[in-house]
Amino acid sequence: MGAPEASLIPFAAGSNLTLTVNSTNIAASYNGVTNTPSVLALYFCLRCLNGSPIFRGLFWEISMSIVCAICGKGPRVGNRIVRHGLAKKKGGVGLHTTGVTPRRFIPNLQRIRTIVGGSRRTLRVCTSCIKAGKVVKA
């Protein structure tokens, strides 16, 4: 028994991601964009990896990113500098840098329940946005 001549397979109910299969080719569309390799890859990744630990890990990284939902503040990179010696003003020969290690500065994000578009949602917002009153708690 062969494949049907043409079938439209939605990814999920109400989803804009669909796959059209016929005897000669496969076409995927997402929000009006069709037949691009990225859309096909997106469809098959979501369809094949749905429920697997790898997909859950990728989805966790996407959905729980370390970025403020209001201002977009994210991680910054910098250095941890180790200095030894006695400062000149204290009678020494000066401080010497003996080690520079890269590090990340992570924003202070809090989970805030707020009203967005008439429904209650939980957003990750940085404390500077909370202090500035840019978000209203539900």
Q: What is the pLDDT of residue 19?
A: 59
**Percent of the chain surpassing pLDDT 70:** 54
SS3 category, 46:
helix
pLDDT tens digit string along 69-92?
A: 999 999 999 999 999 999 999 999
Give me the numbers of helices (H) and strands (E) for the chain, helices first please: 3, 8
pLDDT at 79: 97
Shortest CA distance to 120 belongs to which of 96, 102, 100, 138?
Answer: 138
Mean pLDDT of the region 56-74 = 70
Query: pTM of the predicted model, to two decimals?
Result: 0.50
Question: Which among 78, 105, 82, 83 is positioned nearest to 93, based on CA atoms?
Answer: 83
Mean pLDDT, residues 91-114: 95
Helical pair 37-49 and 53-63, crossing angle rounded to 10 deg: 120
- The domain ranges of the chain are 6-63, 76-105
Query: Residue 126's pLDDT is what?
Result: 95
